[in-house]
A and B are shown apart, each in its own frame.
Chain A
Amino acid sequence: MTSSPITGTRDAAARTAVEVRMEGLSRRYGPVVALDRLDLTVQPGELVALLGPSGCGKTTTLRLLAGLEDADDGRVVVGGRDITHLPASRRDMGMVFQAYSLFPHMTVRQNVAFGLRVRRVGAARRDERALEMLDLVGLSAQADRYPHQLSGGQQQRVALARALAIEPQVLLLDEPLSALDAKVRAQLRDQIRRIQLEVGITTLFVTHDQEEALAIADRVGVMRDGRIEQLASPTEVYSRPASSFVAEFVGLSNRLAGEVRAGQVVVRGVALPLVDSGTPEGQAVALVRPEAVTLASPSSPEPGPLVGTVIAITFLGATSRVTVDLGDVTVLAQLQTAEAAALPTGSRVALSIRPDPVLVAARSKPAPVPGDET
């Protein structure tokens, strides 16, 4: 037994970090298609976050992987083994649920040791291992308390310890932070990521909160209607979205009318590079991030395509979001609060747009009426 519980577990995981592959997974509930021939491969030791609105199929994917639901079609391969028809109790995965999953009649220690008890591990070894895991999540002092005596964040940490105690091949997290307060959420999120990296276990993390997904994942899979729209690193998903759904779900976007010409899109007199150089020419709607919009006092009092009036400021702490009315359209700009303070409501401002690559919305949507942002 190595001296550190963390390295002990990490060595074990590093030896056995596995690839998780889902091929052609489909699941229907009556007429509703929850998953539509989904393909997803998680590399050994990687943390993939599945992000999307309710009903997009992310939780279904997780539960199919866990074995808590049956797939109508397709297969699941873990570490080279086809486990599609294996029952949940034999899949060797650790799962953390959104809430209420700790057994209320058992102490924290007994909860964490439960998976080992079920595998007929001896009492002494069980106890040792349970305390190791509680050390890992920083709750050894609470070992003999009951779940109802712990806070929400502590309960989820116990749930994590319980899932890892059995040395699973894969870690599954089903919106583990959604039921917690904002402050606890941020702390716990980082802790989960730290532990996951230490242990080196292949992990699938489901969330509807894009900030969470971007903060902790190696790769983010944005899902809609049972399909993955984009699977890429957080930076790429944010700055080079593959579709307008991704662009608008992850972060905010301004929709501005413009024209695609010669590999660029011209929006209100400003030429911006394109994310997708193959965009067809013609009238289009460009999706511009608020942080790419900067504001300043206008140099000349004449109206222009980039001159407007501040109609609202939303204070968000370190940054502020400023809503500017350009006459025919409303634009959101994200500034440092100190800068926004210099531009009170009602003042005239001039916009400039940073030349970040922008995505152009698919033509299948009718071009929005100027002024209609929804």
Chain B
Amino acid sequence: MAVTATSRAGARAAKPARPGRRLLVPAWSGTVPFLAYVAVFLLWPTGIVVVDALKNPDGAWAFSNITELGSPLVRGYFIGSFKLCLFSTLTGAVLGAILAYAVASGNPDGVVRRLYLAASGVLAQFGGVTLAFAFLVLIGPVGLLFHASWYFDFPWGIGLIYTYFQIPLMVLVFLPAIDGLKVQWREASESLGASAWQYWRHIGGPLLLPAFLGGSLLLFANALSAFATIQAWEDQVAYVVPQQISTALSSEVGLSNVNVADLLALGMVIMVAIVMTGYALLQRRAARWLR
């Protein structure tokens, strides 16, 4: 190699990367810009939320604020969120799993699979304002398909809309698990005398269960965090926690409402953190078997 390198290149290699001074900074300083950025725009706001949630309007510490989360009014919003999340997660997870199975059991290189995967990528992100519009003109009061009298009922109408982006998300998360079911397991089970039902009950089912539960938890967190869609669907009444946070933030009544928003935000973060931890643990178990 030394034969082909020019003398200039050889000389460059002999010097440190920056000509002149020797650098004495540690290697990790290269990550400082990134860490600083994340600290300012992610960690600091989160810190503000947590701290302000536990303070009184006049600035004094009030850890008892946490008990406010149990008050009937606040509980109502969390129950509302829970209902909507449960409904859209159940439908999204089950239907998504069925669709994922249909996609996975086809030609791995086929057009259908690529099409559905690309579509899932888009539709999982397609939420918010535009989705609410689309359903409004489909089954709303002047709906093109028909008028669903339950369209403005909570949680049915909005739950259906949520299902629209929950299903593709489930497909994206669950498909790799189905792919991970090795064909040898099916064949071994068959040659040992098991019927299709027995295979799914003893082998396929148990192996897919962690991934299914994990996916469901992800869907739950996703529905919990959603705001734009339900706001566009109906913004006069606050049914769920995100909407109440919005109301608290935009309300004109002084500082006390900021604390309400912080408190609700804190409650949300705790819920989502618990759900996401469960998701991470289940994904690890699924990955171990279905690598």
Contacts and interface: CB of A to CB of B under 8 A. Distances in A.
State whether these chains interact. yes
Contact of A93 (B184, B189, B191): B191
Interface in A88-107: 88-95, 97, 99-105
A177 to B, nearest CB: 16
Given A114-B202, A118-B198, A148-B288, A166 B192 contact: yes
Contacts of B289: 104-105
A96 to B, nearest CB: 9
Nearest to B203: A103
Nearest to B182: A100
A208 interface: no
B185 interface: yes
Contacts of B184: 97, 99-101
B248 interface: no
Interface of A: 66-68, 87-95, 97, 99-105, 114-115, 117-119, 148, 159, 162-163, 166, 172
A281 B24 CA distance: 86
Contacts of B198: 118
Size band of the interface chain B makes with A: 10 to 19
Contacts of A91: 191
B195 interface: yes
A95 B182 CA distance: 16
Interface in B171-209: 182, 184-185, 187-195, 198, 202-203, 206-207
A118 B202 CA distance: 9
A172 B190 CA distance: 14
B133 to A, nearest CB: 45
Interface string B205-216: 011000000000
Q: Which 10 pairs, one residue from A and one from B, show the smallest C-beta to C-beta distance?
A: A115-B192, A95-B191, A101-B184, A101-B188, A104-B289, A118-B194, A88-B190, A118-B193, A100-B184, A97-B184
Given A103-B203, A117-B202, 16 more contacts: A89-B191, A90-B193, A94-B192, A95-B191, A99-B184, A100-B184, A101-B188, A102-B188, A103-B189, A105-B206, A114-B192, A115-B193, A118-B194, A118-B195, A118-B202, A148-B288
Contacts of B288: 104, 148
Given A101-B185, A105-B207, A68 B193 contact: no
